C-alpha cells in the first residue's frame, strides 16, 4: 500500500513555490508546507509511522486534553508498537543491547529526559517522571534505570526481539557503522549496512518525535528512540537532548528532528528552529535555515546522511525541511482524524 499522501498546491502558494525553486529545489514535490495552518488541536509526528504515535495522542487532544498528556500517549503508543521500532523491540547497539533515549517538554519550559536507558518499556514516561519528580532534567544509564524502577517501572528481560537478533547477527558479519539515507519516505538511517532491514518489503525503524497543540493553545513535545542502530555502547543522540531533538516554547511553537543525531546536536537543531520562528520566520523557513546550517559544514558528507526537522507554530502552522528527499511527517487533527502523511521539501 502506498501510504504517502501528497499535498496539493493552493494557487496562493505558487509564488512561494517559484521562490523555493530559486533555492535550488529541483526535487521539491511539496513546496507549500508553510501554508499548512491547522485549526484547533493538532498533533504532528515524524515519519509515516507517526500515524501510530498520533493515534495515541489524538483521542486525548480531541477531548480537550492537555498537549503534554497527548505527546506522552503518542510516545507510549510508539514504544508498544514493534513496527515503530523505538522501544524495546528495536535494534540494538553494536554490543547487542537496546539502549533507549527519550525526552518530553512542556510549552512552559518544563523538561525531562532519559538517555542510555535499558530494559524499560516506556522511556517517555520515565522522562516525564524525571521532569515531575526530580530537581534534574536528564538521567542517564544505570541511574536512570534505578530511578525508573524506584518509581514503579518494571524492569524487563532485556532480551532482543527476534527481528533485532537477526539484524544484529547480520550486521556483525561486517560490523560496519555507516548510517545511510532513508529510502522513499521511510525513516531509516541504517539501510546501507542492514540488507534485511525490510519487513514485508517495508522498512520499519524510526525515531518518533511528536509535537502537539491543544485546545487551550498549550504546546508540548516528546521524542522516543532506540537511537542509531549498531551505535557504540553508551552513544547518545539528539533525541533526549533538549534543544537538539526537541524544543517547545508556548510563545513560539514546537519543533522536533530525526536523522543522524550528531549533525542535529552540532547546530542545536530544534532550538535553532524555534529561535528562527521567534524572529518571524515561518516553520518551514525556520526548518530550512536549520538544514542549511547542517549542510553547509560539509556539502559532500551531507549527501550521505539524512536530517529532517518538523515544526508547529503556536497558531497551528506546520512546516518541515530535510537534507534529503523522503522525510515524511504525519498530521492528525479534526480534518485528518486518521492522520495524513506529508513529505518535507529537501535540500538535495
- The residues carrying an active-site annotation are 207
What 8-state DSSP symbol labels residue 242? Answer: B
* CA–CA separation, 258 and 176 (whole Å): 21
* CA–CA separation, 25 and 32 (whole Å): 12
* CA–CA separation, 15 and 334 (whole Å): 28
Q: Which region, judged by CB under 6 A, interacts with ligand SD4, from 14-22, 105-113, 123-131, 255-263?
A: 255-263
Q: Give how many residues touch ligand SD4 by CB under 6 A.
A: 14
Q: Tell which one of 72, 163, 206, 275 touches ligand SD4 (CB under 6 A).
A: 206
Q: Which region, judged by CB under 6 A, interacts with ligand SD4, from 19-27, 67-75, 253-261, 334-342?
A: 253-261
* CA–CA separation, 113 and 124 (whole Å): 8
State the minimum distance, in angstroms, from the CB of residue 296 to ligand SD4: 20
227 binds ligand SD4, rule: CB under 6 A: yes
State the minimum distance, in angstroms, from the CB of residue 336 to ligand SD4: 23
Q: Tell which one of 124, 144, 222, 228 touches ligand SD4 (CB under 6 A).
A: 228
Q: Tell which one of 185, 187, 218, 243 touches ligand SD4 (CB under 6 A).
A: 187
State the minimum distance, in angstroms, from the CB of residue 232 to ligand SD4: 12
Q: Mark residues 257-296: x for contact with ligand SD4 by CB under 6 A, - for none.
A: -xxxx-----------------------------------
* CA–CA separation, 12 and 298 (whole Å): 35
123 binds ligand SD4, rule: CB under 6 A: no
Instruction: Judge contact between 324 and 259, C-beta under 8 A.
Output: no
What 8-state DSSP symbol labels residue 150? Answer: H
* CA–CA separation, 272 and 345 (whole Å): 18
Which CB sits closer to ligand SD4, 31 or 259?
A: 259
Which CB sits closer to ligand SD4, 145 or 207?
A: 207
Q: Which region, judged by CB under 6 A, interacts with ligand SD4, from 120-128, 210-218, 233-241, 322-330?
A: 233-241
Sign of CA dihedral 126, 232, 223, 250: positive
* CA–CA separation, 161 and 98 (whole Å): 10
State the minimum distance, in angstroms, from the CB of residue 206 to ligand SD4: 5
92 binds ligand SD4, rule: CB under 6 A: no
238 binds ligand SD4, rule: CB under 6 A: yes
Spatial strand order of the sheet with 340-343 comes to 138-140, 111-117, 100-106, 219-225, 208-213, 42-46, 328-333, 340-343
* CA–CA separation, 69 and 23 (whole Å): 39
237 binds ligand SD4, rule: CB under 6 A: yes
* CA–CA separation, 188 and 302 (whole Å): 16
State the minimum distance, in angstroms, from the CB of residue 328 to ligand SD4: 12
State the minimum distance, in angstroms, from the CB of residue 163 to ligand SD4: 16
Q: What angle do CA 135, 136, 137 make, to 5 degrees?
A: 135
Q: Tell which one of 239, 324, 332, 333 touches ligand SD4 (CB under 6 A).
A: 239
7-24 as b/e, with b when 16 or more CB fall inside 10 Å?
Answer: beeeeebeebbeebeeee
Which CB sits closer to ligand SD4, 207 or 333?
A: 207
Positions in the binding site for ligand SD4 (CB under 6 A):
187, 189, 206-207, 225, 227-228, 237-239, 258-261
Amino acid at each position: 500500500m502506498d501510504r504517502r499522501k501528497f499535498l496539493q498546491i493552493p494557487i496562493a502558494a505558487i509564488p512561494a513555490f517559484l521562490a523555493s525553486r530559486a533555492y535550488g529545489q529541483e526535487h521539491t514535490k511539496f513546496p507549500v508546507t508553510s501554508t499548512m495552518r491547522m485549526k484547533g488541536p493538532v498533533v504532528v509526528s515524524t515519519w509515516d509511522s507517526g500515524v501510530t504515535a498520533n493515534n495515541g495522542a489524538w483521542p486525548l487532544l480531541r477531548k480537550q486534553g492537555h498537549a503534554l498528556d497527548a505527546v506522552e500517549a503518542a510516545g507510549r503508543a510508539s514504544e508498544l508498537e514493534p513496527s515503530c521500532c523505538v522501544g524495546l523491540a528495536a535494534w540494538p547497539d553494536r554490543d547487542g543491547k537496546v539502549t533507549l533515549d527519550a525526552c518530553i517538554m512542556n510549552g512552559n519550559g518544563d523538561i525531562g529526559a532519559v538517555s542510555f536507558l535499558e530494559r524499560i518499556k516506556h522511556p517517555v514516561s520515565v522522562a516525564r517522571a524525571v521532569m515531575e519528580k526530580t530537581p534534574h532534567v536528564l538521567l542517564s544509564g544505570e541511574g536512570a534505570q534505578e530511578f525508573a524502577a524506584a518509581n514503579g517501572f518494571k524492569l524487563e528481560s532485556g532480551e532482543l526481539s527476534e527481528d533485532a537478533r537477526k539484524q544484529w547477527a547480520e550486521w556483525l558479519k561486517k560490523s560496519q557503522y555507516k548510517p545511510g539515507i532513508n529510502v522513499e519516505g521511510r525513516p531509516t538511517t541504517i539501510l546501507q549496512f542492514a540488507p534485511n532491514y525490510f519487513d514485508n518489503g517495508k522498512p520499519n525503524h524510526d525515531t518518533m518525535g511528536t509535537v502537539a497543540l491543544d485546545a487551550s493553545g498549550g504546546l508540548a513535545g516528546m521524542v522516543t528512540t532506540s537511537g542509531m542502530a549498531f551505535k557504540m555502547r553508551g552513544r547518545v543522540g539528539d533525541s533526549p537532548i533538549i534543544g537538539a531533538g526537541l524544543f517547545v516554547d508556548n510563545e513560539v511553537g514546537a519543533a522536533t528532528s530525526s536523522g543522524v543525531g550528531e549533525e542535529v546536536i552540532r547546530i542545536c537543531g530544534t532550538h535553532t528552529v524555534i529561535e528562527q520562528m521567534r524572529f518571524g520566520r515561518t516553520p518551514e523557513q525556520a526548518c530550512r535555515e536549520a538544514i542549511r546550517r547542517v549542510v553547509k559544514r560539509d556539502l559532500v558528507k551531507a549527501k550521505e546522511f539524512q536530517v529532517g526537522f518538523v515544526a508547529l507554530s503556536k497558531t497551528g502552522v506546520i512546516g518541515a525541511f530535510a537534507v534529503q528527499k523522503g522525510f515524511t511527517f504525519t498530521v492528525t487533527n479534526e480534518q485528518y482524524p486518521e492522520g495524513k502523511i506529508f513529505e518535507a521539501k529537501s535540500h538535495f
